[in-house]
Structure 1
Amino acid sequence: MPSILIKSATVVNENKIFVADILVKDGVIARIDSNIDSHADNVIDAEGLHLLPGMIDDQVHFREPGLTYKGDIFTESRAAVAGGITSFMEMPNTVPNTLTQELLEYKYQIAAKNSLANYSFYMGASNSNLDEVLKTDSTKVCGVKVFMGSSTGNMLVDNPVTLEDLFSRSPMLIATHCEDEATIKANLAHYKELLGDNIPVKYHPIIRSEEACYLSSSMAVDLAKKHRTRLHILHISTEKETHLFDNNIPLAEKRITAEACIHHLWFSDADYEAKGNFIKWNPAVKTAHDREGILAAVLGGRIDVIATDHAPHTLEEKQQPYLQAPSGGPLVQHALPALLEMYHQGKITLEQITQKTAHSVAVCFQIEKRGFISEGYFADLVLVDLKKPQAVNEDNILYKCKWSPFEGDTFKSSITHTIVSGNLVYENGKLIDGTTGSRMTFARR
């Protein structure tokens, strides 16, 4: 593996910003110093650039197997590293659903051959596969995913007995999608009666309402408290939900943690008129009050990590009427640039970005030797130019679906280099194929 010497980078790490050289050898950070003269196969002049730990995205849908016309592990991991994401955790609602250990291992085999980024995959839970879930090796798998709201295939877990069993017996992290299905169905039936089948997309956050989210999230929190479960609630979309979480406990000691996603930090219901189904997600993008409340919870420590919920669909699918158009959108290529834009807007600091996208994810999931710029840690690194604008257009979108909710926007910052497990995989707008990321491991013995 070629060695890399990064010279004169402005390092952002563990709430400090300082200039240093970084030497990478054999996939790890070998040395951090003010001046390193050692020989290296590749020298990167990083003067004027900021060096961040690579973003660890704890929630993506890369669509493989079974839905590869929307995206696949190869295409979406390439988009991820171009956006400064060096590691991802992928969801089980592929086709077939990842509900057995054999199907879980099959996804790891695909990633070992095709993923440019480091990877882990969630084991899926259903109403009938608890025995399979309990076979999962917590040192090799990021967590168990429970859809406490609608999903594809057989993945809606709505049986109270099953939920009690999962929360009481699972020894590893349970990640939940929380929306109350009964509330959503009642709301949808009401608006169908009122408006027929031609419901405008602006009703999406009313149908998939604050009440639906809070009912489900609060039930998950209650179950976790009852059973001392290690619970991680994904994509919080309402200000009300943020008060379910504690900011007075050190992250390493928390049993209940939460995630915010880029789209809930960026968009509001005022954007449905212009963006339509292109910002249709589950849970829904809601009000500006919710957006600001989620950001306040991120900055105040009640929400622990920031992720994408990257979930591509084709243009043709998204251009269907509201009721037929699927929920989800592509985000991995533009998540970090969007956060850096929020930094330019004075909404978040660089130190907070690295905390919520790398450090805290590593601590939350107990990832081994990733998420920090530290000697002896794997070299998952991103160089960004805060003064180099980046337009989002059809020509530079790398998602297989070839669209972005940010299309037409110009960010003030650009990703210049991405290093994954010591390999330079992206440099000045060009992907460098030929290497693959590594399977993440977890310190949960």
Structure 2
Amino acid sequence: MKRILIKNAKIVNEGKIFESDLLIENQFIKEIADSISAKPEYKVIDAEGNFLIPGAIDDQVHFREPGLTHKGDIASESKAAVAGGITSFIEQPNTVPNAVTQELLEQKYQIAAETSHANYSFMMGGTNDNLEEILKTNPRNVAGIKLFLGSSTGNMLVDNEEVLEKIFSSTKMLIAVHCEDETTIRNNVELYKEKYGDDIPVKYHHLIRSEEACYLSSSKAIALAKKTGARLHVFHLSTAKEMDLFTNKIPLEEKQITAEVCIHHLWFTDADYETKGNFIKWNPAVKTEADRTALWQALLDDRIDVIATDHAPHTLEEKKQVYTKAPSGGPLVQHAVVAMFEAYHQGKISVEKIIEKMAHNPAKIFKIEKRGFIKEGYYADLVLINPAMPWNVKKENILYKCGWSPLEGTNFKSRITHTFVNGELVYQNSKVNDTRAGMRLLFNR
């Protein structure tokens, strides 16, 4: 039996911060108490008064396996995730081939079972013609259904309105959506191509994939969810206008429609295109300062429920292409938690709120079994973070397979010192060990 005792921790859980000891026994949190006596067989870790938080649950990543492993793979990106304090991830279906049959979906689980450093689940992908496969999805061990209502990496656009309504009305599973209106975007691209050809300045990205494109699509998806009673989760919101579509009037557990914001939309604005170029080219686009301000406000007042990454690595060579050829997306899992702690240092958000949005709420929204909280009997997915241990993001300490970060050069005040996945100490002293401790996530539904 493996036992690890964490002493002198500042535990952050369910809106409270309290000093405590915590005992891990095998995969689980065995005991939380003011003082737990060490025994000879215990491995003892002194937290030295640093924060002990539940491992973050990233509900939207693209780890690129199978088929796109020159950009990243489950082993490399999950390794970066645990170094960044993310102990569970939900990966998207736009790999090659797309995960749009039960067989293809299960193949991804088999890869992760052998290679993942973090806990994992995979979304079943929806298309214009795979309703039968969607309805076979097991709600107990699959996170949900993913629909691209605007095209992005992977050509999985669902644009048949009759099919959409059938999917929304036929499944009780959570439906997660990428919302951008395809017609609006195509028209905007043509306008800018007439002027610039393929080498459109990236500073116009947020005008091509515009506020209008986002709002048209997200408002339509929400109207359809209300009509059909579907359980809808809207990914990576990016505009002030969309914030009016969401409510904070009811508890999270009662919401049928929930919302997510990503790190890059909270961190960057269109002013950053000047220096970052395609490295901050995402879909939906990073937009204006006013949009970023509105996203922060909605996050803090609980119209937005979750903070995620939309981690989507591409190679440097791919990103250096002209605008129309450079793919959208960027790597973020290694730096997401410390980026939010930077916002804490800036007085924008409390530590308790960070944990609510990055651990508690994803667990609630997806009904993940025994994760996302620091409670006795729960899996020991835990992270120790020192809020006063500065470091700088540079090529030598980036773990992404693609080898770059949009946050390169950033000085962070906080550093993750230890990460535990299912009771295994998988990250310490800036190193991820070889233990593949990740387990398949299960859902209470």
TM-score normalised by length of structure 2 = 0.99
What code does the residue aligned with 1:235 have?
Answer: H
- Cα contact 1:386–1:412 (8 A) shared by 2: yes
The CA deviation string for residues 291-328 of structure 1, in whole angstroms up to 9 with x for no partner, is 11001101100000000000000000001111110000
Determine the C-alpha separation between the residues in 1 that align with 2:383 and 2:443. 22
What code does the residue aligned with 2:136 have?
Answer: K
Cα deviation, residue 197, structure 1: 2.2
Cα deviation, residue 276, structure 1: 0.3
What code does the residue aligned with 2:250 have?
Answer: I
What code does the residue aligned with 2:35 have?
Answer: N
Provide the residue aligned with 1:130 in structure 2: 131
Determine the C-alpha separation between the residues in 2 that align with 1:82 and 1:42. 21
Provide the residue aligned with 1:307 in structure 2: 308
The CA deviation string for residues 72-92 of structure 1, in whole angstroms up to 9 with x for no partner, is 000000000000000000000
- Cα contact 1:232–1:256 (8 A) shared by 2: yes
Q: Is 1:27 the counterpart of 2:27 in the alignment?
A: yes
Cα deviation, residue 17, structure 1: 0.6
Structure 1: any 5+ residue segments left out of the alignment?
Answer: none
Alignment of 1:9-158 (within 5 A): 9-39=9-39, 40-158=41-159
- Cα contact 1:113–1:436 (8 A) shared by 2: no
What code does the residue aligned with 1:64 have?
Answer: E
Distance 1:292 1:76, change over 3 A: same
Provide the residue aligned with 1:260 in structure 2: 261
The CA deviation string for residues 74-126 of structure 1, in whole angstroms up to 9 with x for no partner, is 00000000000000000000000000000111000000100000000000000
Provide the residue aligned with 1:206 in structure 2: 207
- Cα contact 2:152–2:283 (8 A) shared by 1: no
What code does the residue aligned with 1:293 have?
Answer: A
Determine the C-alpha separation between the residues in 1 that align with 2:115 and 2:100. 22
Determine the C-alpha separation between the residues in 2 that align with 1:435 and 1:174. 29
Cα deviation, residue 26, structure 1: 1.8
**Length, aligned pairs only:** 444
SS of corresponding position for 1:395: helix
Cα deviation, residue 152, structure 1: 4.1
Determine the C-alpha separation between the residues in 1 that align with 2:139 and 2:347. 39
Determine the C-alpha separation between the residues in 2 that align with 1:209 and 1:96. 29
- Cα contact 2:65–2:96 (8 A) shared by 1: yes
What code does the residue aligned with 2:188 have?
Answer: N
The CA deviation string for residues 251-310 of structure 1, in whole angstroms up to 9 with x for no partner, is 011100010000000000000000000000000000011011001101100000000000
Q: Is 1:417 the counterpart of 2:418 in the alignment?
A: yes
Provide the residue aligned with 1:381 in structure 2: 382
Q: Is 1:350 the counterpart of 2:351 in the alignment?
A: yes
Identity of aligned residues (%): 65
- Cα contact 1:392–1:407 (8 A) shared by 2: yes
The CA deviation string for residues 344-388 of structure 1, in whole angstroms up to 9 with x for no partner, is 000000000000000011111111110000001111100000000
Q: Is 1:221 the counterpart of 2:222 in the alignment?
A: yes
Cα deviation, residue 436, structure 1: 2.3
Q: Is 1:197 the counterpart of 2:198 in the alignment?
A: yes
- Cα contact 1:423–1:435 (8 A) shared by 2: no
Cα deviation, residue 196, structure 1: 2.3
SS of corresponding position for 1:217: helix
Determine the C-alpha separation between the residues in 2 that align with 1:61 and 1:11. 30
SS of corresponding position for 1:367: coil
Determine the C-alpha separation between the residues in 2 that align with 1:433 and 1:154. 35
Structure 2: any 5+ residue segments left out of the alignment?
Answer: none
Provide the residue aligned with 1:283 in structure 2: 284
Cα deviation, residue 154, structure 1: 4.7
The CA deviation string for residues 44-70 of structure 1, in whole angstroms up to 9 with x for no partner, is 100121101100000000000000000
Determine the C-alpha separation between the residues in 1 that align with 2:214 and 2:155. 21
Determine the C-alpha separation between the residues in 2 that align with 1:152 and 1:394. 25
